[in-house]
């Protein structure tokens, strides 16, 4: 694979962006928008061996390529951009600022893909800056007051972050004697250089206290932009740390302690801030901040104990892919839910949203649970002092994530965001595809890279109780808030009302049955009379029946008499009879009976 191929992967979205400025080509180019990231996905899937290519014709030289880590980042990043582009082409159909959004969207895509393929500091920094500054237009797109405020905050952090990052890269290049990222990663950098790199990339990563730009930007940007901001662009900060900081080579105990402490604070402080928000997308933004706190725990442990980094690396990459797919699906799902016009459609989209939500919360056997359990195993190789606290934080993070997602779900139901007129199914299909990828990630990951997937597959399935406890706390909080809002008496009346209604319905049903039985009882005589008249069972029929009974009785008596007449009795004249001698009373009685019969 040549340098031209990798340049095409980066330049193809940029070429489409410039072509969008030509009005006559816009209809077909908007249809082609999902294909902008397709070359990147194809390269990531086809290229299995590490690759490095150079271009001496560039100003300071140009080095691009792929290794195992960057290939996986390229695959899930391109997948997310394709799904978001599929939504954007429908979301922006009737938007008067659609062209500007499309140009900036594609420029941010180009920068995001370019930094993953860059192997030298200059190319990396240029692509990183392109992505960051182009995203400003995505945040301010609606021109509403909230969007302008979020955009000002965002661009302020971008400028500060770019200056700090540039200083860190220059210092790292000076100390390593090379502008190649691999050389920086292998060098013994000073604590200042590492601190500058961590802060510069940490602003993009969104770890507290560098997070202030992230939730407002996610809430203000259109849905397709929010998906890539949260799912892809903040992972650029993580990818930069993995690419330039000498993790696993040199111990930076102080830096590691600060990063781990910031990660633990981020996980739970994001919960306290997120539940106070009134926008579902902003709450999801705070959820991203909390999830980045989990990744910060792994980064801090790797800085503190370099020997643990080989075990932590594959887990951190897996967690990045897990969050990118699940959180991207949630943001796209918010738009798909709000676009539904009927109750059935919203119910179906709500049920589908549960899939990535449970994955992100850490349902057992999901990528969220497997990633956190694998990280616990990897952290066991690190500091023994920090291990109990890190394990506890990872376990309780499931509760924090569940509560944040429950808050987002409640706000989505009560106040869904505004959506442009678009076909609901056109927004639902990319969301469902991305949600399916998030659910299937534990199955797909070994296919993409079996070696890096081994630690994740060897981890335990995870516990159900953090998610269940989070759901229980969310329900209890919702019930308590509702009771306080309407008042205790009305709340109790509302609880009793269903039972009272059921009792009233049962009484009504019983009364109806009794009236029906009474009507049946009253109608029986008339019914029998009607049937008797129909069957001709009047007085004549009854008299005939009585006559028939008498005839049968008479015949029965006659048959009985004939049966009792002796068949061997010989009749002789009276004078010839001498009177027999009878031995028993029974024979005497029988003889008298026969004589009486003859006498009659």
The answer to whether residue 535 sits within a structural domain is no
| Count of domains observed in the chain | 1
Q: Which two tokens stand for residue 163?
A: 């200056």
Does the pLDDT value for residue 415 go beyond 90? Answer: no
The answer to whether residue 574 sits within a structural domain is no
Q: The dihedral of CA 178, 183, 186, 192: what is its sign?
A: positive
Q: Which two tokens stand for residue 474?
A: 């969310």
The answer to whether residue 58 sits within a structural domain is yes
Cα separations in angstroms, 365 against 117, 250, 368, 441, 444: 32, 35, 8, 11, 14
Does the pLDDT value for residue 571 go beyond 50? Answer: no
Does the pLDDT value for residue 418 go beyond 90? Answer: no
Q: pLDDT per residue over 242-297, tens digit each?
A: 999 999 888 999 999 999 999 999 999 999 999 999 999 999 999 999 999 999 99
The residue among 104, 99, 98, 9 whose CA lies nearest residue 47 is 9
Q: What is the largest CA-CA distance in the chain?
A: 167
Query: What single-letter DSSP state applies at residue 233?
Result: I
Q: Check residue 409 and give its pLDDT.
A: 94
Q: HEC string of 170-205?
A: HHHHHHHCCCEHHHHHHCCCCHHHHHHHHHHHHHHH
Q: Which two tokens stand for residue 352?
A: 């589908």
The answer to whether residue 407 sits within a structural domain is yes
The answer to whether residue 511 sits within a structural domain is no
Q: Which two tokens stand for residue 114?
A: 């370019």
The answer to whether residue 591 sits within a structural domain is no
Q: HEC string of 477-490?
A: HHHHHHHHHHCHHH
Q: pLDDT per residue over 119-166, tens digit each?
A: 999 999 999 999 999 999 999 999 999 999 999 999 999 999 999 999
Write down how long the chain is: 600
The answer to whether residue 570 sits within a structural domain is no
b/e map of 363-379 (b: 16 or more CB within 10 Å)?
bbebbbbbbbbbbbbbb
Tokens 């643990």 correspond to 308
Measured CA to CA, the distance from residue 297 to residue 49 in angstroms comes to: 30
Q: Compute the mean pLDDT over every residue in the chain, rounded to the nearest whole number.
A: 86
Range with the poorest average pLDDT among 215-229, 330-344, 444-458, 551-565: 551-565
Q: Check residue 529 and give its pLDDT.
A: 62
Does the pLDDT value for residue 546 go beyond 80? Answer: no
Measured CA to CA, the distance from residue 7 to residue 218 in angstroms comes to: 30
Q: pLDDT per residue over 514-541, tens digit each?
A: 777 777 666 666 665 665 555 554 555 5
pTM score of the predicted model? 0.82
Domain that residue 298 falls in: 3-488
pLDDT confidence bin for 568, thresholds 50/70/90: very low
Does the pLDDT value for residue 559 go beyond 70? Answer: no
Q: Check residue 490 and give its pLDDT.
A: 78
């Amino acid at each position: 694979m040549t340098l031209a191929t990798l340049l095409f992967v980066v330049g193809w979205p940029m070429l489409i962006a410039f072509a969008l400025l030509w009005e006559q080509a816009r209809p077909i180019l908007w249809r082609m928008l999902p294909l902008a990231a397709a070359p990147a996905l194809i390269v990531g899937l086809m290229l299995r061996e590490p690759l490095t290519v150079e271009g001496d014709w560039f100003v300071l030289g140009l080095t691009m390529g792929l290794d195992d880590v960057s290939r996986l980042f390229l695959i899930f990043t391109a997948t997310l951009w394709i799904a978001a582009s599929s939504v954007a082409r429908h979301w922006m159909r009737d938007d008067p600022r659609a062209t500007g959004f499309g140009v900036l969207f594609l420029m941010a895509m180009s920068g995001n893909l370019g930094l993953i393929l860059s192997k030298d500091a200059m190319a990396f920094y240029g692509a990183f800056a392109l992505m960051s500054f182009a995203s400003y237009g995505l945040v301010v797109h609606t021109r509403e007051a909230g969007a302008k405020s979020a955009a000002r905050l965002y661009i302020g952090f971008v400028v500060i972050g770019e200056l700090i990052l540039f200083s860190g890269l220059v210092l790292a290049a000076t100390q390593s004697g090379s502008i190649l990222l691999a050389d920086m990663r292998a060098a013994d950098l000073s604590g200042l250089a590492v601190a500058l790199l961590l802060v510069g990339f940490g602003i993009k990563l969104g770890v507290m206290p560098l997070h202030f730009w992230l939730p407002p930007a996610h809430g203000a940007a259109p849905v397709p932009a929010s998906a890539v901001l949260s799912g892809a662009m903040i992972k650029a900060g993580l990818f930069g740390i993995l690419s330039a900081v000498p993790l696993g080579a040199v111990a930076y105990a102080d830096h590691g302690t600060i990063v781990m402490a910031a990660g633990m604070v981020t996980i739970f402080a994001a919960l306290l801030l997120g539940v106070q928000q009134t926008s579902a997308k902003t709450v999801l933004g705070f959820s991203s901040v909390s999830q980045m706190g989990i990744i910060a725990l792994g980064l801090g442990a790797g800085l503190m104990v370099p020997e643990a980094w080989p075990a932590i690396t594959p887990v951190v990459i897996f967690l990045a892919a897990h969050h990118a797919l699940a959180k991207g699906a949630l943001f796209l799902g918010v738009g798909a839910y709000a676009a539904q016009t009927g109750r059935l459609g919203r119910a179906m989209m709500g049920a589908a949203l549960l899939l990535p939500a449970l994955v992100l919360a850490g349902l057992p056997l999901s990528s969220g649970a497997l990633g956190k359990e694998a990280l616990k195993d990897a952290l066991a190789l690190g500091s023994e002092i920090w291990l109990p606290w890190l394990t506890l934080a990872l376990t309780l993070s499931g509760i924090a994530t569940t509560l944040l997602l429950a808050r987002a779900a409640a706000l989505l139901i009560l106040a869904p965001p505004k959506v442009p007129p678009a076909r609901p199914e056109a927004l639902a299909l990319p969301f469902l595809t991305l949600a399916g990828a998030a659910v299937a990630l534990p199955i797909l990951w070994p296919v993409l890279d079996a070696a890096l997937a081994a630690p994740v597959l060897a981890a335990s399935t995870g516990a159900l109780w953090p998610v269940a406890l989070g759901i229980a706390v969310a329900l209890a909080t919702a019930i308590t808030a509702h009771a306080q809002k309407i008042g205790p008496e009305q709340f109790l009346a509302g609880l009793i009302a269903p039972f009272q209604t059921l009792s009233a319905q049962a009484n009504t049903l019983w009364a109806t049955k009794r009236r029906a039985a009474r009507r049946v009882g009253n109608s029986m005589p008339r019914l029998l009379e009607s049937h008797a008249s129909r069957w001709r069972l009047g007085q004549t029929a009854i008299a005939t029946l009585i006559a028939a009974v008498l005839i049968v009785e008479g015949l029965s008596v006659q048959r009985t008499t004939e049966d009792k007449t002796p068949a061997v009795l010989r009749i002789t004249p009276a004078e010839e009879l001498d009177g027999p001698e009878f031995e028993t009373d029974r024979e005497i009685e029988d003889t008298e009976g026969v004589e009486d019969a003859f006498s009659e």
